[in-house]
């Protein structure tokens, strides 16, 4: 069995079928990117995996455990949001430790974990600042730090770079990739930007209208796109 396994996952909002039967197997350590046009269901699929929305039907398992109905906080997954989701009035330290405090982790352990994450992310000298005293790239690193301190089994990223300018986007993309390798993490990364997808991914999952069109390495998608939709989407200038 795969590390993270999706079997015939479906999601409807009322009469609207948004995810229409997704099967996917992700190995430990993989960096998988969900890509596809706006509205195809990328965020919804990620939110189903995160447990932020209930799954209508199908099963989801992580590391051999069925987590289809497991509450979000008990799934061992951490979602990285865009940096504007930081708490503006809290320091970097408090932003990064918030989830641990909620989980009633002791102060000493929190300090060790936050210090370690801050070191990994080059944020040590900014721990006392508030988000508005940071650059966009630093803020995005804090958003990642909030996930790292929880030592999740899987990192889930939903377009984390979309509110950064082009230069920062490139740098932060490289940082995310390095971090993924350094942590030995398993990551799922959502983007509508095919260049971002092709440069980050071990495997790309191309979504269209709630279904998977193709799964493959970037090279496989370049060389053998399964159909016209994939070929056009991958070949599109960003």
Stretch that binds ligand ADP, among 38-46, 81-89, 119-127, 228-236 (CB under 6 A): 38-46
Q: Does 188 bind ligand ADP (CB under 6 A)?
A: no
> Which residue(s) pair with 59 in the sheet?
7
> Rounded distance, CA 96 to CA 67, Å?
26
Residue 114 is encoded by which pair of tokens? 């936050």
CB of 162 to ligand ADP, least distance (A): 11
* Closer residue to ligand ADP, CB minimum distance, 39 or 235: 39
> Which residue(s) pair with 203 in the sheet?
32
* Closer residue to ligand ADP, CB minimum distance, 56 or 124: 56
* Closer residue to Mg ion, CB minimum distance, 43 or 138: 43
| Beta strands 203-208; 31-35: pairing state | parallel
Which residue among 9, 31, 43, 92 contacts ligand ADP (CB under 6 A)? Answer: 43
* Closer residue to ligand ADP, CB minimum distance, 29 or 58: 58
Place of tokens 């948004």: 18
Q: Does 44 bind ligand ADP (CB under 6 A)?
A: yes
Which residue among 31, 43, 110, 160 contacts Mg ion (CB under 5 A)? Answer: 43
DSSP-derived secondary structure for 56-88: SEEEEEETTEE-TT--GGGSSEEEE--GGGS-T
CB 2 within 8 A of CB 65: no
CB of 173 to Mg ion, least distance (A): 17
Binding mask 1-20 for ligand ADP (x = CB under 6 A): ------------x--x-x--
Report the length, in residues, of the chain: 238
> Which residue(s) pair with 214 in the sheet?
206
- Binding positions for ligand ADP, rule: CB under 6 A: 13, 16, 18, 36, 38-44
């Amino acid at each position: 069995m795969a590390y993270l396994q999706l079997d015939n996952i479906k999601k409807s909002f009322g009469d609207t079928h948004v995810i229409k039967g997704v099967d996917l197997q992700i190995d430990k350590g993989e960096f998988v990117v969900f890509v596809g046009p706006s509205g195809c269901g990328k965020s919804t699929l990620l939110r189903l995996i995160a447990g932020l929305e209930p799954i209508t039907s199908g099963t989801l398992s992580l590391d051999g455990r069925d987590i289809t109905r497991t509450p979000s906080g008990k799934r061992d997954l951490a979602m990285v949001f865009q940096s504007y989701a930081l708490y503006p009035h809290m320091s970097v330290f408090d932003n990064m430790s918030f989830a641990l405090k909620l989980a009633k982790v002791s102060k000493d352990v929190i300090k060790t974990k936050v210090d370690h994450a801050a070191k990994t992310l080059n944020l040590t000298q900014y721990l006392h600042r508030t988000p508005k005293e940071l650059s966009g790239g630093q803020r995005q690193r804090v958003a990642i730090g909030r996930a790292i301190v929880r030592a999740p089994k899987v990192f889930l990223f939903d377009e984390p770079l979309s509110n950064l300018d082009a230069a920062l986007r490139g740098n932060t993309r490289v940082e995310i990739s390095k971090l993924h390798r350094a942590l030995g993490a398993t990551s799922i990364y959502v983007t509508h930007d095919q260049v971002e997808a092709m440069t980050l991914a071990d495997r790309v999952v191309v979504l269209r209208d709630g279904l998977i069109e193709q799964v493959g390495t970037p090279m496989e998608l370049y060389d053998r796109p399964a159909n016209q939709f994939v070929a056009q989407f991958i070949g599109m200038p960003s």
